[in-house]
Structure 1
């Protein structure tokens, strides 16, 4: 499945961004740009990005594009080179929700729901994990072992959806045990990715390697971690290796 757009995070601090327009829509974009530290400038200034918030944006968009500038035209998805997502800020964690300009209202509604689910301590947890990198490397010198321990922690004692105390990371490093070797076998009832059970989806997201029958659809395999090893095979492995492995096959 191809991506309609590639989500990226762009550092704009001190960099010029063109903003053309007046009114509530332009003011909202100005506040967002200033929050990101951008220098809001006019059309004559050289910049890499531009936002256009006017009733008839076509000629302005054409001029800007002729200069090699990427453009966002407010409420005109067909004219946009990039779109601005709804944002959840748990500094340093940023979560962006986009619909490719199809429905800003849907993105806003999802943001409101997720705001309630994400604890205020999420940013603190991220900073604690960053500070703990040297200790983690010392305790688990092997990268694969370290990744498995980290994955087990985020699925358990360091669950990012649970409000964590100030010393959560330190306590985990003291108490952590090596994650057990495990192989989970799933016979999928449907080739539709939306029919995955919660247990199956969680296992795919945490697995170090995914063994799968050749007829398992790519869309389901894409639910695995990006760095998980994929191995096509006709039967579940006898020795799957350390950490968590998953074997997938389709129901006959």
Structure 2
């Protein structure tokens, strides 16, 4: 991973924009949508966007800004960029960003256009309702691990809150008030994944879901980092040569590259 994707709140915060024309207008529009206050090069800001056609002028502007410790995005010049602006799918507050590290804006746009067709317009309303009902969700599932598993099950494909299905916000209330989530709150369990290759694309859908939901990941020798990266960032990772006799509470997954006896 060459860049760390982050979402930056720009509401009423200054951003420098240098340039004129179509490229500059496009960047101005997206910055204004994010609520940024836009200034010229003499402004004080942490971020800057350069939309200049002339190569030498763009390089010189980037050098001046970087000398002021300002992070720079230079349109169509990935070598000058400290950050890139991805293609965006906006289902406020749900935002999906597709980036290629500056390799191909066309590819990012093509992926965005396909994903746009998959994501319902009501997606944001569901997210807002989940936020509004956060206290009620916590009250129903006070244990954090049980709460996470209940939410995962509800949002899973075919679940009562499947984000790709045409739900309406009140479905969240029905889910909390009903018993839909209770039978999904698993007790402590240990699952095993035997890798067929080091390529994470060879994982089955079920194996990928297990990695994404695991509370603890037991990694046998030889398991590549590309596989462990598929687990949640906050999942505990434990180097373990053999199947653990007393797994940690919650969902544990033992990943190995060799068959178990």
Same fold (TM over 0.5): yes
Deviation by residue 1:180-217 (Cα, 9 ceiling, x = unmatched) = 23433221111222211222112211222222322211
- Which of the numbers 190, 194, 201 marks the counterpart of 2:201? 194
- 1:157 matched to 2:160? The reply is yes
In structure 2, the partner of 1:230 is: 237
- 1:211 matched to 2:198? The reply is no
Structure 2 unaligned runs (5+)? none
In structure 1, the partner of 2:72 is: 71
Following superposition, the deviation at residue 231 of structure 1 comes to 2.8
Q: Are 2:78 and 2:101, in contact at CA under 8 Å, matched by a contact in 1?
A: yes
- 1:180 matched to 2:181? The reply is no
In structure 1, the partner of 2:99 is: 98
Q: Secondary structure at the match of 1:113?
A: helix
- Which of the numbers 1, 10, 13 marks the counterpart of 1:12? 10
In structure 1, the partner of 2:146 is: 145
Q: Are 1:61 and 1:73, in contact at CA under 8 Å, matched by a contact in 2?
A: yes
Structure 1 range deviating more: 100-109 or 193-202: 193-202
Over the residues paired in the alignment, what is the CA RMSD in angstroms?
Answer: 1.8
Following superposition, the deviation at residue 157 of structure 1 comes to 2.0
State the alpha-carbon separation in 1 of the partners of residues 7 and 50 from structure 2: 20
Q: Are 1:148 and 1:208, in contact at CA under 8 Å, matched by a contact in 2?
A: no
In structure 2, the partner of 1:136 is: 137
Tell me the number of residue pairs that the alignment of Structure 1 and Structure 2 aligns. Answer: 250
Structure 1 unaligned runs (5+)? none
Using the size of structure 2 for normalisation, the TM-score is 0.89
Q: Are 1:148 and 1:243, in contact at CA under 8 Å, matched by a contact in 2?
A: no
Using the size of structure 1 for normalisation, the TM-score is 0.92
Q: Secondary structure at the match of 2:161?
A: coil
